[in-house]
Amino acid sequence: MTSELNYSRVGEGFPVVFLHGFLEDLTMWRHLCALKGIQAICIDLPGHGESMEAVDFSMHSIADKIIHLLDSIEVNEYHIIGHSMGGYIGLEILSKDPRVQKLVLLNSNFWSDTEEKKNNRKRVASVVRRNKHLFLYEAIPNLFFRPEQYDSEIKQLIASAKKIKSSTIAEYSIAMSQRFSFNELVERRQNDILVIQGENDAVVELAVMRKVTENLQQLQIVILPGGHMSHIEAPQICGEWIANFLVR
């Protein structure tokens, strides 16, 4: 472990930083990190997996910790793949670190929350503090379009999420509600960004994605079958699109 962040570094090739999402850890990347021709740097975000807890859970503070880690292991330039919340953090890093070449927003988005969404995240924080396990058993299956087809994967995700402190989950939920919009950054860097969207994603709705991006003609958006977990629900085609984008 370097600094307070746990990470794995495998493969040979151009460095690609993998940032997992809310309630996940670096083990979610076990398939995608095997893409040919890359050096995969998979990071446990603070309070997840084997990484230490954070004091400041804001997206920009977590981004700074990751940049510090990459400095310490002497990564000169790199791509980022961020799933859901990992995409939010990836945008923060892209905005401040010139070493970032490309960003994959995997089941993620680049705009700030609506007031309704902010209130929902506050409710999540309240529920988690009262009964974390109840929240996990309800929330994680809903990430999939057809959860009955992914029983073993859901059980594994729940088992990993149970290890995260209730307070950590609550703090991240609040932090996501307070994140900034990166519409201008995406418009400026749209050739360097790939958006992978689940057709039936209940977290990032396809209709909203289409509306927000209708004038971003150079932004590549891939619609895959399934919900919020494209790396599990459509793993082969998801990996192919990412590989093609990163080597382009």
Hey, is 98 helix, strand or coil? coil
Tens of pLDDT along 204-243?
Answer: 999 999 999 999 999 999 999 999 999 999 999 999 999 9
7-112+181-247 is a CATH 3.40.50.1820 domain: yes
Q: Which of 211, 214, 241, 213 is nearest to 225 (CA)?
A: 241
Distance CA(171)–CA(28), nearest Å, equals 21
Q: Express each pLDDT in 132-166 by its tens digit.
A: 999 999 999 999 999 999 999 999 999 999 999 99
Residue 36: pLDDT band (50, 70, 90) is: confident
**Average of per-residue pLDDT across 53-81:** 97
State residue 197 phi and psi, 5-degree precision.
-125, 135
What pLDDT is stored for residue 3 in this prediction? 64
pLDDT at 189: 98
